[in-house]
Amino acid sequence: MNKPIYLLFWSVLIMVCFTSCVKDTDFDQADDIVLSPVLELDFIYFTLDQSDYFNPNTGEQRLIVTDTTDFEILNESFVRDDLKRAEYLFKLENSAPISFLTEFRFLNENDEVVYEVAIPISAGSIAAPVLTEHIENIENQGILELTLASKVVVNVIIPSSFENIEGALNLQSKTTYFFEI
């Protein structure tokens, strides 16, 4: 085959190749891609009974039972950037014959309260424990405040002095985190 025909053949072939392309697509849609995982994570749990309301060292009554835990996950950058809503579920079962006030205080690194949840608990009995469910839905400004937190303080407050408490206060809780990434 002579040279002109050879060149013509490849020119046509390359032209055909160049006609191939992408149609009916819009790669700008990549900007609209949003991962929106919803994560369920256990939160805090405890069981308080009679022994917890007395100081084992002094024998004195403790009208405020308190404990603190670090909770640094809220302070992680990906949580601060991408968490849109958080829903806390607190399930409290009280079989003690007195009422309580439970407080969940979220503190920042300077121990300042940035978010707080308070749940009153009615008195119950061993035969008929009282179940209290509280859902705390946090979004918008609340999320901005919550994600400043790095600690959680839990206070269980007994409104008045008592002689004897039978039964227990039991807490189970979880958080549903709604992300948009």
Partner 1 sequence: MRNLLCFILIPLLGCLTYGQNKQILYDFGDIPQSLLVNPATIMDQDYHVGIPFLSQVSFHFGSSGVSAYDIFGKSNVDINTRIRNVIYGLDKYDFFSVNQQLEILSFGWKNSKGIYYSGGIYEELDVFTYFPKDWAILAWEGNSEHIGRNFHFNDISVTAELLSVFHFGANKRINEKLTLGARAKIYSSIAHARSTDNEGVFKTVEVEGSDNIYIHRIINADVTVQTSGIQSLSDAGSGAAVANEMLSRVFLGGNLGLGVDLGATYQIKDNLIATASLIDIGAVFHTKDAESYEAKGNHNLDGIELLFPALSDGESAYDYYNDIEDNFENDIPVDTINSSYTQFRPLKVNASIKYGFGKKQNSKVCDCLNKDKGEDWREEVGLQLFAIKRPKKPQFAYTAYYKRRFGDFLIGKLTYTIDQYSATNVGMGLSTNYNWFNFYVAVDNILKYPNVAKAKNVSLQLGFNLKIDKNE
Contact 147, 79 (CB under 8 A): yes
The verdict on 122 binding partner 1 (CB under 8 A) reads no
Total interface residues for partner 1 by CB under 8 A: 58
| The only residue of 4, 19, 77, 160 in contact with partner 1, by rule CB under 8 A | 19
Query: Given phi > 0 = left and psi -120 to 50 = alpha, else beta, which region is 49?
Result: beta
As measured in angstroms, the least distance from the Cβ of 172 to partner 1 is 5
Contact between 52 and partner 1 per CB under 8 A: yes
In Å, what is the CA distance from 24 to each residue of 15, 18, 46, 91?
Answer: 21, 17, 58, 52
With beta carbons less than 8 A apart as the criterion, state whether 89 and 131 touch: no
26, 140, 161, 163: which one binds partner 1 (CB under 8 A): 26
Stretch that binds partner 1, among 41-49, 77-85, 95-103, 157-165 (CB under 8 A): 41-49
Does 1 bind partner 1 (CB under 8 A)? Our answer is yes
User: Is 69 in contact with 44 (CB distance < 8 Å)?
Assistant: yes
| 4 interacts with partner 1 by CB under 8 A | no
Q: Measure CA 107 to chain center.
A: 15
Beta bridge partners of 67: 154
Residue linked to tokens 């008045």: 160
Token representation of residue 168: 């227990």
State yes or no: residue 72 binds partner 1 (CB under 8 A).
Answer: yes
57 in contact with partner 1 (CB under 8 A): yes
Chain residues that interact with partner 1, rule: CB under 8 A: 1, 3, 6, 9-10, 13, 17-27, 29-30, 32-46, 48, 52, 55-57, 62, 65-72, 89, 91, 154, 156, 172-174, 176-177, 179
